[in-house]
Amino acid sequence: MSAPVSAETITRLLRSKDEKLDTIVKYANKVLDKKSFNIYFPKSGIFILKLLVDRLNDRSANSKFSEWKFSVDVWDLFIKTWQSLGVSDADYNDVHTRDRIVQSLKIFEITTQVLNQITPETANCLPKILDALNMLMNYTYVEVDEPTGFFLLKGYLSALVGKTVFRDIDAWSQLVVRIYLGSCSRLGYEGSKKSYNKFFEECLLPLIEVVVVVELSSSSSPGKLSSTSKSVLKSLLVEKIFAPEYVDRIPVNLEKLLSKHSAGLDSKAVLYLYALVVEHLASKSIKECEQIYVLLSSKYKHLSEDMLGILVNSKKPISSDFTSAIYKSEIADKKFIDLNWSMVKYIFEVDSELATKKSKFIFEKYNSAFKLDDQVLAVGKVVVDAYVENRELFEFFTKVWPKAIKKDEVWESDEFVSKVATTISSLSGKQLSLIIEESFKLDTIDMKPILTAITSGMMMMKCTWKIIDYSKDVFLRNENVINLQSDFWQVRYNLLCLYGLQFKIPESILNSEDDLYFYYTILRLVELGKVEEVTDSQQFQIVRFMSALQTLDTSAVVGAFKRWFVIFNDFFSAENVDKLILLAMNSQALKDIPNEFFEQRRLVSATIRHLVETPIPNDELIRQIPLACYTKGSKREILDKATKVFIQNPSVGWAKSIKYLLSIPSYQSLIESDFSILLQVIERSSGEWELLISEITYLVWTSNLNQRQNGEPTTYVIDVIMRLTSVLNSTMMDPRSPEIQLALVISGCIAETPLPLQQKVIELHNELLLHCTTVLKSSTIKYDDTTMVWYLQALASRVDPSESSFAQVQEIVKNINLEKTKNDCIRSAIFKLVGRAIPVSFNHAIYLLALYMATTTTTTKSNKTAEFQELSHYLERVARDDLEVHTDVFRNFIGSAMASESNEFVNDLIMIACSFLSTLTKDTDSKTSASLFSFLVNVKGKNVDFGTAITLLETVKTALITKSGIFTQYILELTLNITNHIFAVLCFTDIKQLEKVYITATQVISCILLYHRYKLSTRHHLLISIMSSFLNRLSMQSPWKNSVEAASSYARLLNNICEPSERIRDSSSSPTSSFSSSTATTTAHLTTSANLYKKSLRKHLSVLMSNYVYFHLKFNYSKQVNDVLTEGIYSMFNILSQNELETINASLDYAGKALFKSLYNSYKDHGKWKA
C-alpha cells in the first residue's frame, strides 16, 4: 500500500473498515507525531480521538471493531491522543472539545465487557485500560450510574475468580471500588435497598472467594492478589454488607443466597463469612449472629463446630435459648460415646451457667477406658472456669471433684490439678479454709490432689497474703495428718514455701524417696537453715531427676535450676556442679538466668570450663557471661576456638561473640597476634556481618597499637603497615583481598596511631584512595556488584570534600556501566560518594538534591534511609560552613516544592524537607522556617508511605526538643496541623504501621505540651480540636479500634495536657499576661504556672469530654481500648469544675447523660485520689 499523500487519503485510510488494525494504529501515531508526514492536517488529534471513541463504543454482534477493545496499541493510542490535546500550550478549545468527546465514550461498559471476555492472551491490555480509566477519572468528569458501577465490580470479581493474572492489581482494586462506591452515593433509600440486595446476591460470594480462596498465581508473579487488594475488597464487603440500616436483612438475604447455590459453598468462604458476621454484629446484635449460625449450620453441619468456636471467641453474652437448643441437639440427644467433645467444650464456654448445671455427667460417666483423656480434660477445664465465673467453686471442691476423683484417675492428673490450682485466688479466705477442713475428712487418695491444687494455687502470684495467712491455722493444726502421708511431698514443699519453718516436718520422715518434691523439700530446708548439708546420695538423686526431666519437660529443668542455683553453688560437689551446668546448658536454662547467677563463682567457673571444652553451639552464652568472670587464660582459649569456628563456618552469632571477647583485649589470642588469622576472618566478611568484621578488625588493630616495646610501636604493627602499603602498590592484586579491607580500617585510625607511625598511616591512606580511584576508573564491567559497592563505600568513607575530589568522583560515576546503576546498592553507594566529596556551594547543593530525587525514586526502603542520612549530613555541613548558602538552597527547594502539582515525588520532597528541618538553626529566618511547615501541611493526595510518615514525625519530635528556638506560635500551630493532616495522606493500610504512626503523632503533641506549652497559652481550642480527632480514630469505625498501644499513648497525652509542668511565677510581674486577672495586678503573690494553664484549659476541656461521650455512643470503643482510655478520661475530671461538669451534662441527650453520670461515679470511686 502506498503512503497517504493528503489529509483526505489519510482520513480515508483511518476510517477504513477493511484495513488491518495494526496499519491504522501505525498511521494514526504518525499523524500525531507530525514529523513523519509533510501533510497539512488541522485538528488531527480531535479527528483521531473521535475515531477511537466511535470504534471502541461499537457493540454490534458481528462488528469488525471488537478487537479494538482488546488491543494494547489502541489503548496506547487513546492515551497518547488524549495527552497530545492536553499539553500546557494547547488551544483551550481543543481541551474543551477533547473533554466533550470523551463524555460519549462508554469507558465503564467497555471495561466491563473486556473483563467479562478476557483471556490469558488478551489480558495484557488491562494495564492500559487502567491507565486510561485513571486518566479520565482524575482529569475530567465522567458520570457513572449504580448499575454501571455494579456491573463493572461484578466483571472485575469474575475475572479474579477466574484467576486472570493482572498487572497493577492493587491499583485496579482501588479504582474499581472507588468507581462502584461513587456510583452508589446518589441513591435514595429505596434505591440503596435494591442495591444492597443485588450486591448481597451477586457480589458477596465472589468477594469472599477472592479474599479467602483465590490465589491468582505464584507469589513471584505480578498477578498475585496482595494484602493491599484483599484489604480494599474486604473493606468494600464490610461497608456494604454490614451497613447499620440493613443489618436486619442479612439473615433473609443469606437464606435466599444459600437456596440459590444448592451445590454448596467452599468451607473457607463459609467460615470467613461467619467470622465477619460475628466480628461486626456480635457487639451490637448477637441475635443475628445466632440466627445466621442456625442458618449456616443447618446446611453445613460439618462446620458447626468451627462456627461455634468463632462465636465463643467473640466473648459476647449469648442467649440461653440458643445454647439450650444446641445443648439438646449436640449433647442431650446423643449417647455419651457419640459426643463431639469439641462441641461440648464450646457449648459450655458459651454458657457458663449451663456448664455448672449440666456438666456433672462428665465427671460421673467418663472412664479412661474410652481413651479420650485429652478431649475430656479440655472440657473439664472449661467446666472449672464456669464454676469460677458463677461463683460456685466451693461446690466444685466439696461435692463435684471428690466424687470425680473416685470415679477416674484423669481427674487427679497433674494437668487437671494445675488447672484447678489457677482458680484458688477466686476463693475468699473463709471459703478456702472450709474447703481445706473438708478435704482433711476425705480419704487419703482423694485428699492429695485437692490439697496439692490448693497449696500450688496459693503459691501463685494472684493469691494474696491475706488469704494465705487466713488458711495458715487450719494447715498447721493438721500438719500431723499431712506428715503421716508418705506421698504428700509436693504439699509439704508448698507449705514450707508458704509458711517457712512454722510448718514442721519431722526429721524421721526425711528418708530417701523416689519423689522429686522430696528433694525440693530438702533444698528448701537447706535454704531455711534447718538442714545444714545436701548429702552425696541426695545430690545424686537430684541430678538423676533433673536428667530424667530434661527428656520430658525442659521447662521444668529451667525452672528448677533458676530456683536453686544458689544452693547448687554452695552445697553441691564440684562433680555434681559440672553435671548440673551441663544439664542447664543443654536445656537453655542459662538463656535468661538472673544476674545473681554470675555471682556464684563455682557455677560460673564450671560454665566457662564447658565453654572452653565445647564452645559450639553456645555463642549466645559466651556473650551473656560478664567479661569480668573470664580469666585471661579462659578468655583467650574461648576466643581462639570461636575464631576457628567462625573461619570454618561463618555466622553472625560467632562474629558477635568474637567482638564481645575483644572489647577488653587479651593481647595473646591468635586473632590479635597472628596476621594470617586476622586476614582469614576478614576474608569471611559478608554483607550480613560485614560491619561486625570491620569492628572486630578495628578492635584488633587498636589493641596492637596500645602495645609498646620500649615505648615504641610493636614490630607487628610496623610490619602490617609496610605489607599493606606493598600490597596496594602491587598490580596483581585481587580487588576484594582481605588486605585492602584491613587497609581501609587502618587508614581510618590516624588519630589513634602513635606519632612516629602517623606519616606511614597517612601514606597508606593515600595509597588506598589512589587504589580505589584506579579500580573505579577502570572497566567496571568485570567487577561484580558487591565489589563495586564495596569500593564505592570505601572511597566514600575516606574521601574529603573538595572541588578536585568532586571532579574525580564525577569521572568515576561517568565510567560506571549504565546497567550497574540499576542496582539499588550501587546507586545508594554512588549517592553516598557524591555526598561525601561534593563541596559546599549553592549549585552543588541543588545538584545533590536533584540527584537524591533521581536516586530514591526506585530505591528500596533500607537504601532510602541511608540516602536520607547522607543528604542530612551534607545539609548539616552546608549549614555549618555557609549559612547563607543553606538559606538560599532551602528557599529554592521550598519554592519548587510548593509549586509542584504532581504527587509522584511527594515522599522524596517530604524527606528532603525533613533533612532541612534537622539542619535548621536558631539563626534561620522565621518566615523561611514557617514556609517549610506550610509545605508539609499542604501535602495532598494519598501518597505518603510508612517510612516517610515516621521519618517526618520523628524529625519534628526531635526538632521540638533540640531546636526549640525555631518554633514560634505560628509554627507550633502548623505542627499541630501536620500531626492531624498526616493521616489524610497515608497510602498504606497495615494495622501495625498505622498504629506506629498514631503513637508517634501523639508523642509529637506531647513534646509540644512539655517544651512549648507557654507559647500556646491562648490556643487551647486548637489542641482540643486535634485531641478530638485523635480520640475519634480509636473508635470502632477506624483501623485503630483494637489498638491498646495507641489508646495507651492517647491516655498519656491526656495526662500531659491535663497535668502541665509546675513552674512558680510572680503573677504580678506580668500584668498583661493572658493568665492574670484584672484584680491580681495589684497584689504580688506567687502562682504556679500549672494552675494558670489548667484554668485556661478548663473552659475548653468540656468540648473534649462531650466528644468522648458522643463518640462512645455513636461509634463505640472496644473494651480493651476503653479500659485504657478511662485512665486518661479521669485526668480530665481532675481539673473540671462543677460549672463545667454541669455545662457538659446540659449539652448531652438522655443516653449521653447516663453515660456521663456513670463515668463520673466511676471516677469518684476509682479515679479520684483519696486520703
The rounded distance, in Å, linking the Cα atoms of 257 and 246 is 16
The rounded distance, in Å, linking the Cα atoms of 273 and 329 is 24
As beta bridge partners, residue 713 has 708
The rounded distance, in Å, linking the Cα atoms of 359 and 277 is 30
Residue 819 burial (C-beta neighbours within 10 Å; 0-12, 13-18, 19+) = exposed
Query: Which strand (E) or helix (H) includes residue 361?
Result: helix 360-365
C-alpha cell at 280: 461486626
Q: Write out the DSSP string of 98-130.
A: HHHHHHT--HHHHHHHHHHH--TTTGGGHHHHH
The owner of cell 546503576 is 821
Is 456 part of a structural domain of the chain?
Answer: no
Report cis status (omega within 30 of 0) of the bond before 617.
yes
The per-residue pLDDT for 100 is 86
Is 542 part of a structural domain of the chain?
Answer: yes
Q: Which domain holds residue 528?
A: 517-614
- The helix/strand/coil state of 1066 is strand
Q: Is the pLDDT of residue 62 over 70?
A: no
Quick check: 734 and 783 in contact, CB under 8 A? Answer: no
How far, in whole angstroms, is CA 660 from its chain's centroid?
A: 30
Q: From residue 877, give the alpha-carbon distance in Å to each of 83, 790, 886, 951.
A: 43, 25, 9, 20
CA angle 832, 835, 840 (to 5 degrees): 170
The rounded distance, in Å, linking the Cα atoms of 421 and 450 is 9
> Quick count: other Cβ atoms within 10 Å of Cβ 802?
12
Q: What is the mean pLDDT of residues 963-979?
A: 91
Q: Is the pLDDT of residue 1091 over 70?
A: yes
Pairing of strands 1064-1066, 708-709: unpaired
Quick check: 971 and 930 in contact, CB under 8 A? Answer: yes
C-alpha cell at 408: 477416674
3-state secondary structure 841-880: CHHHHHHHHHHHHHHHCCCCHHHHHHHHHHHHHHHHHHHH
How far, in whole angstroms, is CA 23 from its chain's centroid?
A: 54
Q: Is the pLDDT of residue 1170 over 70?
A: no
The owner of cell 570534600 is 801
Q: From residue 1016, give the alpha-carbon distance in Å to each of 886, 936, 1025.
A: 30, 20, 14
Q: From residue 978, give the alpha-carbon distance in Å to each of 496, 580, 903, 1100.
A: 61, 59, 17, 21
Quick check: 1034 and 1042 in contact, CB under 8 A? Answer: no
Domain count, the chain: 2
Q: Which of 48, 81, 105 represents a domain boundary (last residue)? A: 105
**Residue 666: CB partners within 8 Å, gap ≥ 6?**
632, 635, 636, 639, 672
Is 805 part of a structural domain of the chain?
Answer: no
At 1087, give phi and psi (nearest 5°).
Answer: -135, 140
C-alpha cell at 1022: 486548637
Q: What is the mean pLDDT of residues 400-426?
A: 94
Pairing of strands 1086-1088, 1064-1066: antiparallel
Quick check: 82 and 105 in contact, CB under 8 A? Answer: no
Could you report the per-residue pLDDT of 341-350, keeping only the tens digit for each? 988 998 898 8
The per-residue pLDDT for 157 is 86
Could you report the per-residue pLDDT of 532-555, keeping only the tens digit for each? 999 999 999 999 999 988 887 888
Burial 1008-1030 (b: 16+ CB within 10 A, else e): bbeebbebbbebbebbbbbbbeb
Q: From residue 521, give the alpha-carbon distance in Å to each of 1, 525, 657.
A: 105, 6, 39
C-alpha cell at 369: 477406658
CA-based radius of gyration for the chain: 39
Is 628 part of a structural domain of the chain?
Answer: no
Could you report the per-residue pLDDT of 4-46, keeping only the tens digit for each? 667 788 888 888 887 888 888 888 888 887 766 677 777 888 8
Could you report the per-residue pLDDT of 436-459, keeping only the tens digit for each? 999 999 988 889 999 999 999 999
Could you report the per-residue pLDDT of 718-748, keeping only the tens digit for each? 899 999 988 888 766 777 789 988 999 998 8
Q: Where are the beta strands (DSSP E) in 668-819?
A: 708-709, 712-713
Quick check: 938 and 897 in contact, CB under 8 A? Answer: no
The per-residue pLDDT for 1058 is 85
Is 15 part of a structural domain of the chain?
Answer: yes
Residue 400 vs residue 866, higher pLDDT: 400
The rounded distance, in Å, linking the Cα atoms of 745 and 793 is 13
The per-residue pLDDT for 1084 is 41
> Quick count: other Cβ atoms within 10 Å of Cβ 45?
23
Could you report the per-residue pLDDT of 885-906, keeping only the tens digit for each? 999 999 999 988 888 777 778 8
At 713, give phi and psi (nearest 5°).
Answer: -60, 150
Could you report the per-residue pLDDT of 740-774, keeping only the tens digit for each? 889 999 988 888 887 878 888 899 999 989 888 88
The rounded distance, in Å, linking the Cα atoms of 134 and 128 is 10
For residue 752, which of 674, 699, 796 has the smallest C-alpha distance? 699
Helices (H), 300-340: 304-313, 320-327
Is 1012 part of a structural domain of the chain?
Answer: no
The per-residue pLDDT for 218 is 34
Residue 490 vs residue 1123, higher pLDDT: 490
For residue 114, which of 146, 73, 71 has the smallest C-alpha distance? 71
C-alpha cell at 1057: 495536657
Could you report the per-residue pLDDT of 299-312, keeping only the tens digit for each? 888 888 899 889 88
Pairing of strands 712-713, 708-709: antiparallel
The rounded distance, in Å, linking the Cα atoms of 467 and 475 is 13
Could you report the per-residue pLDDT of 364-386, keeping only the tens digit for each? 889 888 888 899 999 999 999 99
The rounded distance, in Å, linking the Cα atoms of 943 and 905 is 9
Could you report the per-residue pLDDT of 96-120, keeping only the tens digit for each? 888 888 888 888 898 888 888 887 7
Query: Which strand (E) or helix (H) includes residue 1088?
Result: strand 1086-1088
Quick check: 207 and 248 in contact, CB under 8 A? Answer: no
Residue 343 burial (C-beta neighbours within 10 Å; 0-12, 13-18, 19+) = buried
The rounded distance, in Å, linking the Cα atoms of 1028 and 350 is 37
The rounded distance, in Å, linking the Cα atoms of 54 and 191 is 32
Quick check: 776 and 812 in contact, CB under 8 A? Answer: yes
Q: What is the mean pLDDT of residues 1099-1103?
A: 86
Q: Write out the DSSP string of 900-919.
A: ---STTHHHHHHHHHHHHHH
Q: Which of 614, 647, 680 represents a domain boundary (last residue)? A: 614
Is 577 part of a structural domain of the chain?
Answer: yes
- The helix/strand/coil state of 1134 is helix
Q: What is the mean pLDDT of residues 55-83?
A: 81
Could you report the per-residue pLDDT of 204-253, keeping only the tens digit for each? 888 888 888 654 433 334 445 667 777 888 888 888 888 888 888 889 98
Could you report the per-residue pLDDT of 804-854, keeping only the tens digit for each? 889 999 988 888 877 787 788 888 899 999 999 999 999 999 999 999 988
The rounded distance, in Å, linking the Cα atoms of 456 and 435 is 15
Q: How many CA atoms lie within 13 A of 1096 on its CB side?
A: 23
Q: Is the pTM of this model over 0.75?
A: no
Is 597 part of a structural domain of the chain?
Answer: yes
C-alpha cell at 118: 478476557
Q: Which of 614, 649, 678 represents a domain boundary (last residue)? A: 614
Quick check: 678 and 742 in contact, CB under 8 A? Answer: yes
At 127, give phi and psi (nearest 5°).
Answer: -60, -35
The amino acid at residue 219 is S
For residue 484, which of 533, 519, 447 has the smallest C-alpha distance? 447
The rounded distance, in Å, linking the Cα atoms of 932 and 886 is 14
Q: What is the mean pLDDT of residues 792-796?
A: 90
C-alpha cell at 416: 487437671
